[in-house]
Amino acid sequence: MKIAKGFEDFVSLDTKKSLWEQFHTVAPLVVIGTKEENGFDLAPKHMVTPIGFSNYFAFVCTPRHRTYHNINREEKFSVSYVRPDQILMSSIAAMPRCSVEDYPQDVVEHIPTVTSKDGESIFVADSYLYLECKLHRIFDGFDDYSIITGTVEKAFVHKDYKIHSDLGQQAQIYKNPLLVYVAQGRFAEIRETMAYPYPKDFER
């Protein structure tokens, strides 16, 4: 078979399997908080993203998890952007939850948390960013998965992570590192960053 120019060092992936388990990619790692009929639930997610530059947030979930049903019922959720030294807290939140019925009810008790002023939202304590979101829409139909979208109604960032100017951002990030998830099954702490080389007069 003739190989196209520029593809000499590439191998074809099996599209009958999950593509995303065949190479490494990076993503944020957050913990989604939801209100249950009695108490709260916490679940780590890495397939997350803002939607555009407006105040919309989205993440991938599945009806197999309590998170999906809690949000569908309560029409709200919270987001905690955890720090690198909180990786264990996100791991505890990931305790077996494949079955809605089998999820251990006391998981949240083992994670330091804070709640919103009205007591309706839960967050992982000492995270660097908290978001309170109102359900916008749930998009089903991605095989066994769904995209849950929300409108960010309130947001709180730790003072050490607030961007004040274009000056000193490298020093700020070095002192206050960011956590990323390296799919599949690894994580990293980001301290070293560089300014992106935008073209002159670039506009988003």
Token pair of 68 as six digits: 């999906």
User: What CA–CA distance (Å, rounded) separates 59 from 148?
Assistant: 6
Find, among 67, 123, 59, the residue nearest to 94 by Cα: 67
User: What CA–CA distance (Å, rounded) separates 125 from 128?
Assistant: 9
Give the phi and the psi of residue 154 in degrees, each rounded to 5.
Answer: -140, 145
User: What CA–CA distance (Å, rounded) separates 173 from 160?
Assistant: 9
Domain count, the chain: 1
User: What CA–CA distance (Å, rounded) separates 118 from 153?
Assistant: 14
Q: Answer for the pair 110, 93: CB distance below 8 angstroms, yes or no.
A: no
Specify if 95 maps to a domain.
yes
Specify if 16 maps to a domain.
no
Written as tens digits, the pLDDT of the chain (204 aa) is 677 788 888 999 999 999 999 999 999 999 999 999 888 999 999 999 999 999 999 999 999 999 999 999 999 999 999 999 999 888 888 775 545 555 555 667 789 999 999 999 999 999 999 999 999 999 999 999 999 999 999 999 999 999 987 668 999 999 999 999 999 889 999 999 998 898 988 887
pLDDT the model gives residue 132: 98
Specify if 148 maps to a domain.
yes
Specify if 143 maps to a domain.
yes
Specify if 92 maps to a domain.
yes
Domain boundaries, position 121: 25-190
pLDDT the model gives residue 98: 46
Specify if 198 maps to a domain.
no
Q: Is 81 helix (H, G, I), strand (E, B) or coil?
A: strand
CATH number, domain of 165, equals 2.30.110.10
Give the residue carrying structure tokens 């304590």: 125
Q: pTM of the entire structure?
A: 0.90
Q: 196 Cβ partners below 8 Å, 6+ apart?
A: none
Give the residue carrying structure tokens 């301290």: 191
Specify if 80 maps to a domain.
yes
Specify if 7 maps to a domain.
no
pLDDT the model gives residue 141: 96
pLDDT the model gives residue 6: 85
